[in-house]
Structure 1
Amino acid sequence: MVTFEGLPGAVAVSHLTVYDWPAADGQRGGTPHLHLTCSEGYVVVGGSGSVQTLTATGFRQTPLAPGALVWFTPGTIHRLVNEDGLRVVVLMQNSGLPEAGDAVLTLPPALLADPDAYRAAAALPPEGTEAAQERAARSRRDLAVEGFLGLCEAAEAGDPEPLAAFHRAAATLVRSQAAEWRARWERGAVLAAAATAAQIDALERGEWGQLAGARVREQRPVERGRFGMCGRLDVYQV
């Protein structure tokens, strides 16, 4: 019998307290970016704010308040804006892929065109003081906001090329990781789907013995307050 013991559907879960740092446009919040293969969802559990999104269909701003459920598909550039203590539970498709680099920040084009420069601008210090990590997180956030605002201005003016150029640059930056992502996906979402198929097959044969293998799992955050792209994260490792 195929088994899978991760979270339902091989999702990843984290708790996010959105940054309240002001940006150049006067709004407080996180780092604009997109995911190339993963849908993302927010369950708002506290505070208020919004998520700004940019796709080929244009810019959109969706209000966020407790109880709201918002999600978007791969390729959606998104930026969380914190108006008053915004906190969300984040659901990520394909647990393992986001952690393996399935995100590209909307940095200015010159940085996107140079993989080494991009990695240097997007990275946080692996070690050091919290103040140093905060400075690096704020710096990359500010660069990403700069690029995001440029993309939004072009979209508003009816020029699709800057967004298309960003998509091309993002795909180029991650292309070398595709084989690794496939292996992670096969160990996660594919295995989860295969386990459900095996369970349905067993029930069609009139078998019920697999039910005796039921288990309850529990986990506390393995890390609290990590500097993420959009805010401080409480992270679970499932």
Structure 2
Amino acid sequence: MVSATPGFGGLPGAVAVSHLRVYDWPALDGAAGGTPHLHLTCSEAYVVTGGHGSVQTLTASGYGVTPLAPGTVAWFTPGTIHRLVNADGLRVTVLMQNSGLPEAGDAVMTLPPEYLTDPGTYAAATLVPADAPEEEQARFARDRRDLALEGYRALREADGPAPLAAFHRAAAALVRPRLAEWRERWRRGAEASAAATGDQLGRLEQGDVSHLADAVVRAERPFARGRFGMCGLLDVYEATERGVRPRRGGDAPDP
């Protein structure tokens, strides 16, 4: 029988959660907010808990803007370039697939093409040093946001689909060295959770209720607050990072 408790724990279905206070730093276009980026293997959802703003999205189908207000739940699938815009104190609870992989590597920011040539070049442009003073971390996070906005504007203004397709290929090449690690995270998390449900259904069909005696209750508070993430200041839960090697700063991918 499959274990009823997936290896990564966390929320049901190996979903992970973080709390996000979206940056209020204004950009050159006058909009305040975060760093545009995409995820390659994970869907993500925003549950708006305070303030107002929007999420700008760019896919092969075109550009869109989704208003965000308290009570809104907005989600998107892999390949969606997204940029959070903070109009007034925007706060979001983020729900993530695959035990929090979106904040543990499955993200590529929309830097200009010359920064996407190899993992080392990309990392040098996106690193937020975890041991730097807070003011310096903020500067690094803002600089990489502004750099990503350069590439984002070029993709939005492109004439035809070729630049976006080229960005997709470059993003895939950047994360390829980590795919085996991601597959293990998925196997121990989302796959194990789905297999456990199948196992429980099989037991119930046979009149076996023994797994109900293994019921547990868990509660968790953030173990880190105010991290400089891609979109804002993050409050992070342990289950989001369980099983992942320490990251080098912020929530930037570690190719």
Q: Same fold by TM (over 0.5)? A: yes
Deviation at 1:208, TM superposition (A): 1.0
State the aligned residue count: 235
Q: CA RMSD in A?
A: 1.0
Question: Which residue pairs with 2:135 in the alignment?
Answer: 131
Question: Is the CA contact (8 Å cut-off) linking 2:17 and 2:100 kept in structure 1?
Answer: no
Question: Which residue pairs with 1:218 in the alignment?
Answer: 219
Aligned residue identity for 1:167:
H
Q: TM-score, structure 1 length as denominator? A: 0.96
Q: TM-score, structure 2 length as denominator? A: 0.90
Q: Could you tell me which runs of 5 or more consecutive residues in structure 2 were left unpaired when the two chains were aligned.
A: 240-255
Deviation at 1:190, TM superposition (A): 0.7
Deviations 1:50-92 (A, max 9, x none): 0000000000000000000100000000000000000010001
* Matching of residue 192 in structure 1 with residue 196 in structure 2: no
Deviations 1:180-202 (A, max 9, x none): 11111101001111111111111
> Among residues 83, 93, 96, which one is paired with 1:89 in the alignment?
93
> Among residues 97, 103, 109, which one is paired with 1:105 in the alignment?
109
CA–CA distance in structure 1, aligned partners of residues 104 and 91 of structure 2: 24
Deviation at 1:115, TM superposition (A): 2.6
CA–CA distance in structure 2, aligned partners of residues 210 and 135 of structure 1: 51
Aligned residue identity for 1:14:
S
Question: Is the CA contact (8 Å cut-off) linking 1:53 and 1:61 kept in structure 2?
Answer: yes
Q: Percent identity?
A: 68
Question: Which residue pairs with 2:245 in the alignment?
Answer: none
* Matching of residue 162 in structure 1 with residue 166 in structure 2: no
CA–CA distance in structure 2, aligned partners of residues 76 and 41 of structure 1: 12
* Matching of residue 50 in structure 1 with residue 50 in structure 2: no
Deviations 1:148-191 (A, max 9, x none): 0110011xx4x111101100100010111111111111010011
Question: Is the CA contact (8 Å cut-off) linking 2:15 and 2:98 kept in structure 1?
Answer: yes
Aligned residue identity for 2:112:
P
Q: Could you tell me which runs of 5 or more consecutive residues in structure 1 were left unpaired when the two chains were aligned.
A: none
